[in-house]
Structure 1
Amino acid sequence: MSHNFYNQNAEGIAEQYLSKSFKDVHKSWAQFLPSIIENPAARILDLGAGSGRDAKHFAELAEKTHKEVNNIQVFAVEPATELAELGAKVTKDLKVKWLNDALPTLNVITKQEVSFDLILLSAVWMHIPPSDRARSLRKLANLLKPGGKLVISLRHGQTEDDYKTRKMFDVCADELKQLATGVGLFTKLETPKENDELGRNHIHWQTIVLQLPDDGTGAFPFIRHVAINDGKSATHKLALLRVLLRIADGHSGAVLRREASPFGDRVILPAGLVALYWCHQYKDLIDSHKFFQTPNKNPNMGFMKEDGWHKLTHRTASDYRIGNLFVGDDAIALHKTLSAAVSNIKNMPCKYITYPNQEANSDQPVFEIASNTVKAKDSIFLDLPTLAQWGEFSLPESTWLAFNRYACWIEPVLVNEWVKAMASYTGNSAYKTPEKQYYLHQALSWLEPVRTTTEVRKRFEQLKQQMPEIAKCVWSAKSLKNQYDIDHSMPFARWPNNDLWNLLPTDSVINNQKSDRLPTEYKLKQSKERIKHWWQEAWLNKEITTVATTKKNEVNDMSAGYVISETLFTASIEVETVPTIDTEKTTMKRFFAEANIALPGLSSDNTSIDDLFEALVLQRGRLKEMQQLREW
């Protein structure tokens, strides 16, 4: 597509597009729209939104249908910035989110980690070069909810000027339908060619409506194959699948980028993050419970090194979490542990996990690691940029999406198969019987995060003394005195997240009413300014003081290691082997490190609480959609 042409002629093109109504242009498929709009939590993507005519129609129809309980989200994507600015003005008083993005990559919209009930490409497909069409349709199919519809209008009758000036290409309905079949879509409607609504005699239009079946994605057979059918000489394969599932479910912001490959689009994650979660899930399983992870009685696995893993036996699984700071000897040991884990993952499960029925002589792996050597240092703050130093981990986008959307159904299968594997190993022979396998299940509980509000409660008490005006319930604005709760805005029982951004001071009665329900989008937005004010004053104010102090002998008791976890410590630590800690700066870093990796659509360097709040609204919608949670 020639963005320059559309930018240079934006006003004339906008006037031309807006001269015809949505009903004039889209009457051939409009019968599918009412059932979509009837869903108050529907999500619609207008891709190539131009001057905003269609996005405006969707948003107005949603408001008319649902009034004050309208939770329908309309995304308008337009690569021509001048045209998008005009479109944003057309929809300025409506619930439409404008983004600058384009096929075939759609990097911005895929980073939102959301899926759609309806995707409209009106007068777009002829701008996609034939070489990019297969990838474009694969990307669009991945953005659909099960049962979701993709509407594509085809423009026939391009002129020589169209080819050159507007970068158009010939289109074919049969080609599009064939590509659709290849990505699991079926044709719901194919219209005959119709006359152009603007009266251009050489141009004809045709509409294709494609639909994603309700039976999930093609990734499920592969996941089931690895979890149930694949040989397991150790628990490595199950461990890797569970790590990736946990990252996809809890860390939408972990994706560094998406990229094309001959075998389909792939998601790129920090290799260090995969290694961190790898260590997290094995930590207590091996060190505390002493369960063997291989058929023989060797307690060691390849990533357990004397200068790394075995120097961190005083740590627990919950120490291996985003936002923690390790210093001194513990930091050096953690560097070496992560390096050993990356190497072990690369040489074991990544090497041996293959697709079902793959050719025996094929060496194309499902998962790949491009690893880097990282020099051990006496300080390591666990955030996305730090963990990216170990290189990049690559997995199929279809597998990522399956984990992202269906984690609560897939994880029990992985855990059950892991229990079976451990029970079959010689070293765990005492746990072979079904009644004893309960202990294996317990040991596989994901221990992080621990549900605790102690740290935030201490911070609230401190601020209440310094600035009484902050002592208000974020949901109701009631003054908070002696009786109050610290609430998980996204319910912990349904999405275990104990990050600072998710913990908010609340009136006890209000919190009991909310219980483990999900706040409605309306309730969340009503509370926006109070939530932002709490975030700012509690964690981002440069005048922040500490909740507790750590003395020299306390640091020595920690074997010269130091981690910020449940308590915030002062910067005044007079120990030569422990670097000086700027607690104020570390707290701010931790706040955004946790938020930027947990919530969709944020960059790893984001420091905007406005963007954070938008991402929180998106996450609320995802949880509602994926888990069908009760709302409050």
Structure 2
Amino acid sequence: MTGNIQFYNDNARHVAQQYLSKFFEEIHAGVLAYVTPVLNKADARILDIGAGAGRDAKYLAEQGQSQNVSVTAVEPAKLLADIGKQHTQNLNVNWLEDSLPALAQVTRQEVSFDLILLSAVWMHIPESDRARSIRKLANLLKPGGKLVISLRHSQTEHTADSRKMYAVCADELKQLAKKVGLFTVSESQRENDKLGREEVSWQTVVFQLPDDGSGAFPFIRHVATNDGKSATHKLALLRVLLRIADGHPGAVLRRESSLHGDRVILPAGLVALYWCHQYKDLIDKHQLFQTPNKSPNMGFMKPNGWHKLTHRTAADYRIGHMFSGDDAIALHKTLSDALSNIKGMPCKYITLPNSEQGVFEVASKQVRAKDSIFLDLTTLTQWGEFSLPEHIWLAFNRYACWIEPVLVSEWVNTMLSYKGNARYQTVEKHYVLQQALNWLEPKRSTIEIRQRFEQLQQQQTQYCVWTAKTLKQKYNIDHCMPFARWPNNDLWNLLPADSQVNHQKSDRLPSEKKLKDAKERMLHWWQSAWLDDSALEMDESSVFLINSQRQRFFAEANIALPGLKTDNSSVDDLFEALVMHRGRLKEMQQLREW
């Protein structure tokens, strides 16, 4: 779409003047019946693709202001978008420089939308990109969400050449939409151009997503509950991917198009790391058998890798942790062995229904062991790439709170079927297996932060991030995003709070207003606790520690929150990603707000 982007940049002011000469209600009169209910829905999200000078985005944001409706405006022509940003200033509109068919920037946000509007865009998409584009749009819709596409007919040869336009057809569009699970709600007759161009006419088609549109959820459930399992490998892989999708949406390296649909690419080393994380306590601590064999040992547990790390705990196998010396060399070997096991077992045997086509793919690389390893996205990408279908990733992402209990329950039942676990057959002992499958241990989560708080408290007054109240003896360390609903013990998610306020908040999600009101205090805590050494008199070892903490702080945040770059070091960008993630959690889990 480079050619038409250049046209809109070169003619930005003229085009903007044209677009802004008409009102939203005039241009989109035929679809107001579908747009208005979204504007009256609390916290609705709208995606405006090809937002131009911001006419539509402004209307949508203004009309939805009382319901906290947010608008994401996508415009690939930078100069035109700059005008749009001015036009929508001080409104709840987030501008992104992006375009179909990839919509890479939008997709990185890991959010879905109640309404997607493509006004005067479809004719810019060549036929070869249209199937992928409609699939991408369907994946971005919430269940029940509407997709509104306007079609421009009868463009002249001149405009087709200068703006890179292509012929469009409503029937072709409806067929493409049907293939990705969308059904047609409305199709208008052709109407005259509102700008008076005789050679141009317009038609609008409205689609809706009835459910997740992919069959991903029943497929996951089938693998978890019905698929043959001679070991817990399949359950382990599903749970690893679930935990990454739910807890680390920032882990996605990119999306790719394939013959079988778009795929999500993850660092293979991250999949291997979390594979080891969940098996670590099950086998080393609880001695639970994961196969029908006579030994609890599994194929990836080698003498020069896994068994040299028996003194480590599952908590060490996490983003932001550093291994050195012999432990680092053993971890390199362990991750390589784990990835080989993943590739040769669950990835080989999890296939599409009635097919030998594998669902998950591993493009692994050999990694030379070193005596130091810091666990972040950059490091874990060295082991290669792991890919899965985008619609399955989205199902993990959106339905994690429903899928997790299914996987855990089935894993417990599978372990109970093995002779090696016979001592747990009585019902009263089943809880041991449930506890062994806990992903994180909350009791240990706040010790480190309390120690840091009390160290800083000796040097300067500390405040509650939610109320600005001075904190003295009685205080709590609060999970900003409630641990009970989203288990995360990262440094950025743990904040000092007044004990009474923390009790009032409980496991509720802070409202967007509360979060934004607390921004300056949160940023101050992050800076003073983990990022800033300028105000402290420290020796060389203390400087090394604060640098390590800074590295860990951003490593954890950049993988846990959507839309951040791998090398992000901006707390302002981190906070914006946190606000967006708050909205995701509220939407996906229907959490109570505080």
TM-score tier (shorter): over 0.9
| Aligned residue in 1 for 2:319 | 322
| Aligned residue in 1 for 2:512 | 521
In structure 2, relative to structure 1, the CA distance for the partners of 1:88 and 1:215 (3 Å cut) is: closer
The equivalences for 1:271-286 within 5 A come to 271-286=268-283
The equivalences for 1:134-149 within 5 A come to 134-149=131-146
Structure 2 distance, partners of 1:151, 1:467, is: 55
Does the CA-based 8 Å contact 1:309-1:333 persist in structure 2? yes
Q: Which amino acid aligns with 2:385?
A: E
**2:561 maps to which of 596, 599, 609:** 599
Q: Which amino acid aligns with 1:155?
A: R
Shift, 1:458, TM fit: 1.7
**1:512 maps to which of 503, 507, 520:** 503
Structure 2 distance, partners of 1:315, 1:281, is: 13
2:434 matched to 1:441? yes
Worse overlay, 120-129 or 210-219? 210-219
2:458 matched to 1:465? yes
Shift, 1:434, TM fit: 4.3
Shift, 1:429, TM fit: 2.9
| Aligned residue in 2 for 1:485 | 476
Shift, 1:542, TM fit: 2.8
| Aligned residue in 2 for 1:365 | 358
Structure 2 distance, partners of 1:492, 1:42, is: 25
Structure 2 distance, partners of 1:376, 1:545, is: 36
| Aligned residue in 2 for 1:558 | none
Shift, 1:439, TM fit: 2.8
Shift, 1:488, TM fit: 1.1
2:261 matched to 1:264? yes
Shift, 1:584, TM fit: 2.2
Structure 2 distance, partners of 1:460, 1:429, is: 46
Q: Structure 2 length as normaliser, TM-score? A: 0.97
In structure 2, relative to structure 1, the CA distance for the partners of 1:98 and 1:538 (3 Å cut) is: same
Q: Structure 1 length as normaliser, TM-score? A: 0.91
**1:333 maps to which of 330, 333, 338:** 330
Structure 1 distance, partners of 2:293, 2:243, is: 28
Q: Which amino acid aligns with 1:428?
A: N
2:187 matched to 1:196? no
Deviations 1:388-436 (A, max 9, x none): 1111000000010000000010111111221222222222233345444
Secondary structure at the aligned position of 2:149 is classed as strand
| Aligned residue in 1 for 2:582 | 620
Structure 2 distance, partners of 1:545, 1:428, is: 53
| Aligned residue in 2 for 1:297 | 294
Structure 1 distance, partners of 2:305, 2:535, is: 35
2:236 matched to 1:239? yes
**1:101 maps to which of 98, 102, 116:** 98
The equivalences for 1:140-179 within 5 A come to 140-179=137-176
Structure 1 distance, partners of 2:37, 2:340, is: 51
**2:46 maps to which of 44, 47, 71:** 44
Does the CA-based 8 Å contact 1:451-1:492 persist in structure 2? no
Secondary structure at the aligned position of 1:188 is classed as strand
2:508 matched to 1:500? no
Secondary structure at the aligned position of 2:452 is classed as helix
Does the CA-based 8 Å contact 1:245-1:407 persist in structure 2? yes
Identity of aligned residues (%): 70
Shift, 1:440, TM fit: 2.3
Shift, 1:546, TM fit: 10
Q: Which amino acid aligns with 2:588?
A: M
Does the CA-based 8 Å contact 2:74-2:96 persist in structure 1? yes
In structure 2, relative to structure 1, the CA distance for the partners of 1:484 and 1:442 (3 Å cut) is: closer
| Aligned residue in 2 for 1:218 | 215
Unaligned runs of at least 5 residues, structure 2: none
Structure 2 distance, partners of 1:522, 1:464, is: 28
**2:11 maps to which of 3, 9, 12:** 9
| Aligned residue in 1 for 2:424 | 431
Structure with more contact order per residue of length (Cα contacts < 8 Å, sep ≥ 6): 1
The equivalences for 1:2-151 within 5 A come to 2-63=4-65, 66=66, 70-151=67-148
Does the CA-based 8 Å contact 1:3-1:80 persist in structure 2? yes
In structure 2, relative to structure 1, the CA distance for the partners of 1:377 and 1:485 (3 Å cut) is: same
Q: Which amino acid aligns with 1:16?
A: Q
| Aligned residue in 2 for 1:406 | 399
In structure 2, relative to structure 1, the CA distance for the partners of 1:434 and 1:513 (3 Å cut) is: closer
Unaligned runs of at least 5 residues, structure 1: 550-569, 573-580
**1:355 maps to which of 352, 356, 367:** 352
Q: Which amino acid aligns with 1:501?
A: W
Shift, 1:62, TM fit: 1.4
The equivalences for 1:541-556 within 5 A come to 541-543=532-534
Worse overlay, 112-121 or 441-450? 441-450
Deviations 1:139-162 (A, max 9, x none): 000000000000000001111112
Q: Which amino acid aligns with 1:412?
A: P
Deviations 1:11-30 (A, max 9, x none): 00000000000001000001
Does the CA-based 8 Å contact 2:191-2:202 persist in structure 1? yes
